[in-house]
Amino acid sequence: MPAFLNSDLSQLAHQLTLSPKRLRVEQLAGIETVLSLVSSDKTYPFDWVCYHITKYQKRGSEASASIPGKVIIADLVNMAEHISRKAAVPVSEFSAPYWTQEGAAKELCVSTKTLRRWRRRGLLGIRAVFEDGVSRLIFLCAGIERFRRLNPTLVAKAASFRQLSAEEREQIIRQAKELVAARRIRLHETARIIAAQTGRAVETIRYTLRRYDRAHKDAMLFATASDPVLTDVQQAMWDARKNGASIEDLAHAYACDGAEVQRSLREIQLRLWKQVKVECVHHELFDAPNADALILDAAEPSGVAASPPPNDPDMPPYLRSLYQTPLLTPEQEADLFRRYNYVKYKLSRALGAVRGFNATREQVDAIAELFARVDAYRARIVQANLRLVVSIAKRHVGWSDHFFEVVSDGNMSLLRAVEKFDFSRGYRFSTYASWAVMKNYARTIPEERYLAARFVTGQDEMLSAAPDTGLVETSDSDLARVREMIRGGLAELSPREREVVTNHFGLFEPDGAAMTLEDLGRRYGVTKERVRQIEKRAMNKLRELLPSSLASVFATA
């Protein structure tokens, strides 16, 4: 069902579809009658509209709601097509003369596309089933005459329109290039100037220029925001400025004044800023007239002092540095998130207030300050919650070789959680962030372990831990002590795990003979992959039970 503007007319359309189909032609004639009587700048009672369509007059003195004529015209056009489509009225039942869509377009000297636009203005189209069983749009001759009578200027202007020739299109493009090259001019202004010179409609010029830009991506005249695209000179200015060139140097190098250089740099900066997606978690306090005083100028809540790091000399410097930032109290956390989202709210409004890419120096400076404040608030929130990511990572992977990679991945989840957290609900951010980080780990860590298991064999794992030969000499007593420690670790394994490790690496065998994973699989009646899994589980246990330095002697023990 099409979207109606008025609920009463929408309900009427539904009721008409349920009425007997034999009444449909009469109802459509009633709709045409109403359209001929309605003026778009007046209002009419719903009962009056209903009576002309259904011939039903409501009893009682209660007045019905009034509907603007503009709404009646739009809804009745939708209603006519909707009820005629539902009823599948044969075209033979229409005794009044009519035109097909192509015939009506030829009669009015316009295109079928123009006819479709005019239906929104009140040109009534009806769906009818022709002899071949196809439903087509028809226009009653009376409806066309009514539309022509009510819109004489529109019909005459459309009838006098002619398609642009190839020479005219080339002339329009040429004029646009000259205007853009002479000064930074927007699409609408360009179209208006060329329309005045050529006698064509502004929309025709705009459509022609947009079509040219779509077909020539490498030589576009206007960007998506209707502003002219960057020139090579502007891009060169920006690159030189990023490399440390001064405004005076740029003005001298490109033979222009400093004001023009600054305008170009501001335009490029705005283009880059508008590519950044700025979203905030809105709060009703943001719309208060004195929001700055209530949020930004208010004193920040007091917090707690930073706790000293654990007395662990083996703790990595990165983890030790995290204890220099104190944890946030609930009051501090809510205040920081309120400030952070309010500044993003102000930033979004400031960017939206800039029309296109033309901004004053004051506007650019204000937006730059807002971006800096957003970054500062985000950094404070993230820094205070980095220890949370470390604790979750330790529970998932422990002190493994790729521990800090897992922490880095968790920090990215923390950043995303900061952007989505709704501080107004009263929950702690640590609860929300823990859920986000653990959800990410539940997806990424199993994938990483699968890839590592897929491409690394047990022998590759031992080779990566093998010692450099000839660097350290060991005595028989040292080897005996190492073997004793390894035996103690193996004793903690299950019988199957112990046999797999000792047989695969040839531990404690006089000749050092080792069995392959395939041999072990045949011995136990399982696949090679299953043996590898058992061995990996046993090796993980040994790493936890024995000092890490013993991994280098597994291949020689």
Q: DSSP state, 183?
A: S
Residues paired with residue 68 on neighbouring β-strands, in sequence order = 43
Q: DSSP state, 218?
A: G
| 236-242 contacts at long range (C-beta below 8 A, 24 or more positions apart) | 237/261, 237/264, 237/265, 237/268, 238/264, 238/265, 238/268, 241/265
Q: Enter the tokens of residue 196.
A: 């005045």
- Give pLDDT, residue 362: 92
What are 51-68's pLDDT values in tens digits?
A: 888 888 776 656 678 889
Stretch among 56-65, 146-155, 298-307, 381-390 having the lowest mean pLDDT: 56-65
Q: Over pLDDT 90: what percentage of the chain? A: 16
Q: Say how many CA atoms lie within 13 Å of 4 toward its Cβ.
A: 21
What are 376-434's pLDDT values in tens digits?
A: 999 999 999 999 998 888 887 776 667 888 888 889 999 999 999 998 888 899 899 99
Which residues, 6 or more positions from 227, have their beta carbon under 8 angstroms from its beta carbon? 184, 186, 187, 267, 356, 357, 358
Q: Enter the tokens of residue 353.
A: 């207030």
Q: Over pLDDT 70: what percentage of the chain? A: 87
Do the strands 135-140 and 43-45 form a parallel or antiparallel pair, or are they unpaired?
Answer: unpaired
Q: Say how many CA atoms lie within 13 Å of 2 toward its Cβ.
A: 20
Cα separation, 336 vs 98, in Å, equals 69
Instruction: Give me the mean pLDDT over the 455-477 stretch.
Output: 49
> Residue 332 — pLDDT band, cuts 50, 70, 90?
very high
- Give pLDDT, residue 381: 94
Instruction: Give me the mean pLDDT over the 450-465 stretch.
Output: 49
**Predicted TM-score of the model (pTM):** 0.51
- Give pLDDT, residue 547: 62
Q: Is 19 helix (H, G, I), strand (E, B) or coil?
A: coil
Cα separation, 465 vs 462, in Å, equals 5
CB atoms under 10 Å from CB of 19, counted, come to 13
CB-count burial class (<10 Å; 0-12, 13-18, 19+) for 426: exposed
Torsion of CA 192, 196, 199, 205, to 10 degrees: -20
Instruction: Give me the DSSP letters along 319-370.
Output: HHHHTTSPPPPHHHHHHHHHHHHHHHHHHHHHHHHS-TT---HHHHHHHHHH
Which residues, 6 or more positions from 434, have their beta carbon under 8 angstroms from its beta carbon? 388, 392
pLDDT of residue 457 exceeding 70, the answer is no
Cα separation, 209 vs 169, in Å, equals 9
Cα separation, 435 vs 517, in Å, equals 40
pLDDT of residue 267 exceeding 70, the answer is yes
226, 191 contact by CB (below 8 A): no
Q: Enter the tokens of residue 105.
A: 């377009």
- Give pLDDT, residue 344: 95
What are 197-215's pLDDT values in tens digits?
A: 888 888 888 888 888 888 8
Instruction: Give me the DSSP letters along 419-458.
Output: HH--GGG---HHHHHHHHHHHHHHHHHHHHHHHHHHH--H
Q: Enter the tokens of residue 350.
A: 């400031």
What are 57-114's pLDDT values in tens digits?
A: 776 656 678 889 888 888 888 898 888 888 888 888 888 888 888 888 888 888 787 8
Do the strands 135-140 and 126-129 form a parallel or antiparallel pair, or are they unpaired?
Answer: antiparallel
Instruction: Give me the mean pLDDT over the 133-148 stretch.
Output: 87
Stretch among 47-56, 474-483, 545-554 having the lowest mean pLDDT: 545-554
> Residue 472 — pLDDT band, cuts 50, 70, 90?
very low
- Give pLDDT, residue 400: 65
> Residue 511 — pLDDT band, cuts 50, 70, 90?
low
